[in-house]
Structure 1
């Protein structure tokens, strides 16, 4: 029997007083024990805050992103061990792809987003600076900094790897240490994953700790710098959400709860079409992957009345092919529920649904395999609710297993109303080719669903599936689903940080945000900036060019050469009638071209490529006889790899009266 350990204060601690037995979902035999009531909880939190937090905050976003990538690569190289450990949870080889590979993939996504969307800095700026005075010498800037506490992640049993990594990735990227508390039933898989990460050597001490078993009085020791994230039942979430201590001390709490997700067959979809087959395929997958133990699984199948029998027959035919049994067997498609307790709960709730709906399909009673007679197996069950308006259980009772109910609908409005009867869900999916119906669903059901997933034959090849939360998009939902928004790209990173309004001079805000602010003191350049390598450039270094006169001949030549003969450039009277121009004016792109001619160093050097420009604005027209000069300033530097980095330059074009006529940010790749 395995002793599942906790990792606290930098050391592994085995089970002790209060340890609980853990049974194999496949055989029912006890295979492990976990839990220790004597853990040093106060020491664990102090270790996280003082050691882990300090080490993470000393790293930039890019350094933390590199750490996530290294962790993902290490887990990817050892994922077979996680596969083997996961079989006893009842998961099949196909299920491992969702849990193990999905979790590793989430680390990779956040590593990539951290490098591409966050600065190589310690502070995250939130939007542009606000000018708070007339002259620009006093600015305001919203910034995010890491909270100084610890994030406690309380996870569900169904995804012992992905459930941890989906929260851990944005938390570590934010610079906040974590304490992970997995569900006891599958904590032996989480323990192996944590052990692999700790052994990799990529995590600073205290950045990650693990509690297998009870948390003790951990929640009583948290304060407003700490966070609690929870995935599990609505009942447990309610207890945590209303905990007087968490409320009084202002501890951040988010929940991702059970959810009666729906799928809707569009009224435009007919049997025999590609969309009809796609709809049936999605239903079958969501009912059987992880034996239906997914917070995003389809529980309610909303179908136009004329298509009910066709859907019923197609789904039943597909379920009849599903083999249930020992997940290690190659001929088994669906494994067991996680425990005998979970099996009893699913059967009880299926009985409640059966009181108001007819069971139209039930799978084989006996699972395949040797020694599995005491396993937590439940065959797929499909119900048909003839009167979904009068029903309650199908909209309120979630059987967290391979159980789903077909709900007939009269029209589009009825379908939307039925979907909303779930009182809030993580996801609703719609299979349709009708843009108007898709728009109606968003307007009618968007307020009740965290994600709306549309699919048809056009998108099917790349679609990720109804039940697959992607780290790029928010994962959460309103109402019954808990109100949280886990994942969601950089949005999830910000959740573990504090947003502050910082006010001060441009020079101070430039130093705080590690990006030059317009109005800041220019720094003279020792040589043309395009002759200097990435590491030699400093924020605020400024090049001031000579002026160049814009002539009428320049404007006419540019118009003839490019074909841009817009009247404002070519017709004096027509341009004068335009409320924006005093007469003929220079092309905006002519000004950009002349600006480049003024500041570019033409010889071969460290500048490798111009990759674009952002935030281009034309503020004042330029007429023949005006002149322009350019101020080029190093605004921000972002390393990309060992060979080159991205330099963001602030470019200001001013006329002979020092009035800004255009402004933009130029992006170049500069050799290291």
Structure 2
């Protein structure tokens, strides 16, 4: 039996004998993996054309809704993936991190879509006036590249690795071709089969290959991207391909690194014990086969033995065995080949100056590798900061000063993650300044957050996942950061009417006079740029006094004539929030209608003082709109309040919930 690939809307089997895929515990051959003879170049072109067109037809909000529905669907069928997962050497807890963690990424990116506009363009910053009369303006815009993203995944996270790359690409409207690592390709195949069976993915939005990429790289160009997770050596070889050096395809790498855990000098016993727990957990989850796992532990020399012993105490009780057995805590490594690599790395570390401090007495047969703690009293041997044992192995290093600790951490040449255990903000600041260019994520652990921390090795969808140097120099996740990386940035220059028509956001000079009060219109009927000038209101001394009494705001500039005359205003002025309230009274239509609620206020600025005798008028403009759900949409209104001289005294954005047409919420 062979693991099949899903290309151009059909499941296909590669030619030739292929590479055996074995059960990590028993060594039984489960399937064979090959992509020989598969039409990968044609699949890329098909994905761009068919998948790209289908995704862009949906727009951001609908793609977000489908991600949410897909997450719910996979949650209902995750037990199938759990059963497959046991054959990779992973325990049920390991499967939870991979399967449920991947589903969580889908939910996270689905929630981002609620704040995205309809269509496929994301405006950036504000409009830039390029002429005095505003007839020529500019705007930075993110839009579709028209390409495809290829993802090359590592063996250790066949589910999470695929979904963490798929979700931002799908939300951005970019089709995906996912390549699985051979040792866990059958799990990835099971995932993709479920995703396709859900019926939620447009044709061509996801393709899957088990085996090598073959000719696929030759078909990449400037529209495309490749997201890689794996070894630095493979990443370095890939990034030199002409697809990236000559044709301009985007390359992103996330590679294994020698991540550090550091016990600060100001750490107390609680921080020491919590860091020991963190180290033990990093060696136990997936038997230490995580790119973010702790490989080096830096400890003040007078506390080295205490942290070693505390870590050992947490590892001693772990049970190694077949992950299908309920009482087992650690399974084997993914393969015999992986075990041989870890054994070779440990030998190199021992030869480089480390010594064995402790080794778990559990199983070492087959692909099993017991948790192992090494100690390097001389912390400067080059292999100690260059060789990674990709398994349940950590090396402890003593340090004497904070400067030495930072220097040792830097010797790794770039890390995905580092944990610093300290309760002291100044010590944390020292390490932040020293490591900010050497690590992608700094996890600060102390007695105040230990109960709620998600842990050293857990990348979060809303935060950056990646790191400099040896860690690959790439960026994944990060919420909207990763969505934007799938889009093309361009500078758009146009007249205001064209600019707001293309961006979906109001541009000054593109106003369209309202013939009906905008608050009388349902969401669909509102046009960006639609503008209402209100009637006027002249402020009185009584207005200011009554607002002070109502709000209890008796600040001297509003209530003390003598003090106010000596202020920067030179007179008593109205409260800024009275101006805000008065403006609402000018532009709000009081009768029941499609506008359901005030949803928020952003960017408020008071630009000119207002006093008794001044006359105010407001301009209300539809700034932008986006659907929220089937019944409501969010409308952003640009509000500008001017005085009798035409000067702007306040400007801000009001957000309202507006009923959609035919929902019954609008009278």
Q: TM-score, normalised by structure 2?
A: 0.96
Residue equivalent to 2:428: 438
Asked if 1:316 corresponds to 2:312, the answer is yes
Residue equivalent to 2:370: 379
Asked if 1:667 corresponds to 2:652, the answer is no
Equivalent residue runs for 1:137-286 within 5 Å: 137-270=135-268, 273-286=269-282
Equivalent residue runs for 1:407-446 within 5 Å: 407-446=397-436
Contact preservation (8 Å) 2:319, 2:362:
no
- Aligned Cα root-mean-square deviation (Å): 1.5
Displacement of 1:530: 2.1
Residue equivalent to 1:124: 122
Cα separation, 1, equivalents of 2:637 and 2:515: 14
- Cα distance change on mapping 1:523 and 1:38 into 2, 3 Å: farther
- Deviations 1:297-348, CA, capped at 9 Å, x for gaps: 0000111111111111111222211111111111210111111111000000
Cα separation, 2, equivalents of 1:648 and 1:587: 24
Displacement of 1:275: 2.0
Asked if 1:607 corresponds to 2:603, the answer is no
Cα separation, 2, equivalents of 1:237 and 1:18: 27
Match of 1:521 among 500, 511, 519: 511
Asked if 1:329 corresponds to 2:325, the answer is yes
Contact preservation (8 Å) 1:525, 1:542:
no
Contact preservation (8 Å) 1:525, 1:541:
no
Asked if 1:345 corresponds to 2:333, the answer is no
Asked if 1:392 corresponds to 2:388, the answer is no
Give the match's secondary structure for 2:519: helix
Equivalent residue runs for 1:577-616 within 5 Å: 577-579=566-568, 581-616=569-604
Question: Please, which moves more after superposition, 12-21 or 138-147?
Answer: 12-21
- Deviations 1:571-610, CA, capped at 9 Å, x for gaps: 455445444x353322211111111111112233332211
Cα separation, 1, equivalents of 2:587 and 2:216: 59
The aligned length equals: 659
Residue equivalent to 1:563: 552
Give the match's secondary structure for 1:447: coil
Give the match's secondary structure for 2:440: coil
- Deviations 1:220-264, CA, capped at 9 Å, x for gaps: 111000001111111011001112342100110010011000001
- Cα distance change on mapping 1:553 and 1:365 into 2, 3 Å: closer
Contact preservation (8 Å) 1:267, 1:304:
yes
Structure 2 portions without partners, runs of 5+: 661-667
Cα separation, 1, equivalents of 2:597 and 2:297: 53
Contact preservation (8 Å) 2:48, 2:175:
yes
Residue equivalent to 1:640: 628
Displacement of 1:409: 1.1
Residue equivalent to 1:370: none
- Cα distance change on mapping 1:479 and 1:457 into 2, 3 Å: same
Match of 1:366 among 343, 348, 363: 363
Give the match's secondary structure for 1:180: strand
Match of 2:485 among 477, 495, 518: 495
Cα separation, 2, equivalents of 1:228 and 1:366: 39
Contact preservation (8 Å) 1:18, 1:36:
no
Cα separation, 2, equivalents of 1:591 and 1:245: 58
Contact preservation (8 Å) 1:61, 1:122:
yes
Displacement of 1:548: 0.5
Residue equivalent to 2:73: 74
Displacement of 1:363: 1.6
Give the match's secondary structure for 1:426: strand
- Deviations 1:627-671, CA, capped at 9 Å, x for gaps: 011111122222211222211111111112222221111011122
Give the match's secondary structure for 2:2: strand
Residue equivalent to 1:483: 473
Cα separation, 2, equivalents of 1:188 and 1:447: 38
Give the match's secondary structure for 2:415: coil
Cα separation, 2, equivalents of 1:631 and 1:338: 65
Cα separation, 1, equivalents of 2:594 and 2:404: 63
Give the match's secondary structure for 1:4: coil
Cα separation, 1, equivalents of 2:609 and 2:58: 46
Equivalent residue runs for 1:540-559 within 5 Å: 540-559=529-548
Cα separation, 2, equivalents of 1:620 and 1:268: 50
Match of 2:289 among 293, 305, 312: 293
- Deviations 1:407-428, CA, capped at 9 Å, x for gaps: 1111222222211111100000
Asked if 1:83 corresponds to 2:73, the answer is no
Question: Please, which moves more after superposition, 528-537 or 205-214?
Answer: 528-537
Match of 1:459 among 434, 437, 449: 449
Residue equivalent to 2:664: none
Displacement of 1:436: 0.9
Displacement of 1:161: 0.4
Cα separation, 2, equivalents of 1:382 and 1:9: 48
Question: Please, which moves more after superposition, 650-659 or 588-597?
Answer: 650-659
Give the match's secondary structure for 1:663: strand
- Deviations 1:166-193, CA, capped at 9 Å, x for gaps: 1000011110001001111111100110
Question: Please, which moves more after superposition, 206-215 or 631-640?
Answer: 631-640
Contact preservation (8 Å) 1:164, 1:180:
yes
Contact preservation (8 Å) 1:15, 1:33:
no
Question: Please, which moves more after superposition, 624-633 or 564-573?
Answer: 564-573
Contact preservation (8 Å) 2:363, 2:369:
no
Contact preservation (8 Å) 2:287, 2:391:
yes
Give the match's secondary structure for 1:254: strand
Displacement of 1:118: 1.8
Cα separation, 2, equivalents of 1:557 and 1:246: 67
Contact preservation (8 Å) 1:18, 1:37:
no
Structure 1 segments of 4+ aligned residues over 3 angstroms from their partners: 570-579
